[in-house]
Amino acid sequence: MNSAADTRIQSLIFYYHRLNRYSFNALAGALDSDPELADVPVRLAKTEEDLAAAAAQALKRHDRAVVALSILTPQLQEVQDQLRQLRSDHGSRITFLAGGPHAAAEAGELVSLGIDLVFRGESEMSFPAVLKRLARGLNCRDIAGTAYLSGDEVVVHPPAHPVDIDSFPSFSPKRGMLGPIEITRGCPFACGFCQTSWIFGVRPRHRSVDNIVRQAQSLLSRPRPVIRLLSPNAFSYGSEDGRQLNLPAIRSLLAALRETVSARGRIIFGYYPSEARPEHITPETLDLLRAFADNDEIVIGAQSGSARMLDACCRAHSVDSVLAAVSRARKAGYKVIVDFIFGLPGETPQDVRETLALIGQVSRLGARIHPHAFVPLPQTAFAAERPGRISADVIRALDSLDRQQRIYGDWVEQRRLANRMYRSQNTVSSRRALADFGHQTSD
């Protein structure tokens, strides 16, 4: 790294919150890929207290510090509180950079809160470019995909072309920032409640098998390595449109990973942190899982048991396909978790009854239920809607399943916070409550 960078990037701090780790892993991988930045030290602050301490310690040793934030909508109030406190303590000696899902949609809101520069969407190219400009004391406000405040005006630069995900690793082994290997980016379905298609596009981009295998190899020196594969929809890998299965591509990927990993590690596919669409749970995909992967549980996204609500959300699958997927997976010997969202915009008592009926059917097949309350996320079709409410009927039904240990996740806490969020007329209070259980998908 050149001497100018050595003197200017004095301290780089990532707010490495549990909900944002995957985003920062990717940014660290992008730093590793740049010869000028590969040796830049990064301090990981995992809590609000860690962040305050890291900033104070850095500014005892250096004139300036750079703090990078990745922001989910539920974290907005937390971020605002942190900014206020850190600015009060250290003034302009900290340069705040922010990205993440909320930044992609609401860049103007973030710069108005005091963020110096916001990254709108994919940042593997723009984040290193900004750091190098900062290192040389140069203007970094003309980089594609960024936004900033100039006087009272929010200046927003259009995003650059979509990132070639093969050009950047998903994590940074040398920094100890490890996690899943992202195999696909983008989703064609643009569900009304989800930001993925709006941020990453509707045309899927797939990482090459060779690239995925190389990343898996970098994990094999770890004790009991686990290779987790990250995708908006696990079985979309290799598909041109993300809708139709490409079974040869999935087989090639899993077979290459199995050969590489052998018996030293485990391959996790179609389970956390990814899920599968119900229509993609077929005899063929289940055969591939049995042949090459190690997980004994699958996560299936159902979201509703009402055909009307599935259509309203643009889910593009049927209620029957959910039931068929759970039945197939159970017969193949897999445990199953099924995601459902309650309080979707326009949901009627009849829609709720139909969802509860489907929940009853899949739970009798042995599935566990992962319940969520609807949360309006910016830039989605449902962005202007009110947070969802979990009704008394739903509470009774899910409480019963919880007693039978058929609920996945912290249902009691989520129920309490979801209803508090619904009652609140204050958007900030709603976001603060939501942050406690992190319904918005992290990374």
253-267 pLDDT, tens digit each: 999 999 999 988 999
Comparing 32-36, 134-138, 415-419, which segment has the lowest mean pLDDT?
A: 415-419
Range among 216-220, 374-378, 437-441 with highest mean pLDDT value: 216-220
The answer to whether the beta carbons of residues 172 and 25 sit under 8 Å apart is yes
- pLDDT tens column, 144-183: 999 999 998 999 999 888 999 999 999 999 999 999 999 9
Each residue's pLDDT tens digit, 306-315: 999 999 999 9
Please give the average per-residue pLDDT across 40-51, as a whole number: 96
Whether 258 and 227 have beta carbons less than 8 Å apart is answered as: no
pLDDT on residue 438: 38
Class of domain 165-435: alpha beta
For residues 256 and 181, what is the distance between their CA atoms, to the nearest angstrom? 14
In 208-309 the beta strands, taken as DSSP E runs, fall at 226-230, 266-268, 297-303
CATH topology of domain 3-156: Rossmann fold (3.40.50)
Among 7-11, 87-91, 153-157, 411-415, where is mean pLDDT lowest?
7-11
Helix (H) or strand (E) holding 181: strand 181-182
pLDDT at 51 (0 to 100): 97
Across the range 32-42, mean pLDDT stands at 94
What's the pLDDT score for residue 230?
97
Q: What is residue 194's three-state secondary structure? A: coil
Q: What is residue 417's predicted lDDT score, i.e. its pLDDT? A: 67
Spatial contact of 238 and 266, defined as CB atoms under 8 Å apart: no
Listing DSSP states for 197-219 in one string gives: HHHH-SS-EE--HHHHHHHHHTT
Q: How many residues does the chain have?
A: 443
Rounded to an integer, the average pLDDT of 281-293 is 98
Lowest mean pLDDT among 52-56, 157-161, 287-291: 157-161
Give the H/E segment covering residue 183. none
> Which one, of 24, 28, 45, lies nearest residue 37 by Cα?
28
Q: Which whole number is the average pLDDT over 270-277?
A: 93
CA distance 107 to 118: 6
Alpha carbon distance 370, 178 (integer Å): 26
Q: What is the pLDDT of residues 224-245, one digit of tens each?
A: 899 999 999 999 999 999 999 9
Identical fold for domains 3-156 and 165-435, yes or no, is no
Average pLDDT of the residues in 324-335: 98
Q: Does the pLDDT value for residue 432 go beyond 50? A: no
Residue 146, amino acid: T
As given in the structure block, the two tokens for residue 320 are 């029957």
Asked if 302 contacts 339 with a C-beta cutoff of 8 angstroms, the reply is yes
> Per-residue pLDDT averaged across 106-126, rounded?
94
Q: At what angle do helices 76-90 and 427-435 cross, to 10 degrees?
A: 100
- Written as six digits, the tokens of 250 are 């999935």
Q: Give the integer Cα–Cα distance in Å for 245 and 236.
A: 6
Q: Could you tell me which residues are beta bridge partners of residue 227?
A: 267
Residue 277 token pair: 């669409």
Least confident of 72-81, 126-135, 179-188, 197-206: 72-81
What residues does each domain of the chain span?
Answer: 3-156, 165-435
Average confidence (pLDDT) over 197-220: 96
- Cis status, amide bond into 273, omega within 30 of 0: yes
Look at residue 410 in the predicted model and tell me its pLDDT: 80
Exposure on the CB side of residue 357, measured as CA atoms within 13 A: 11
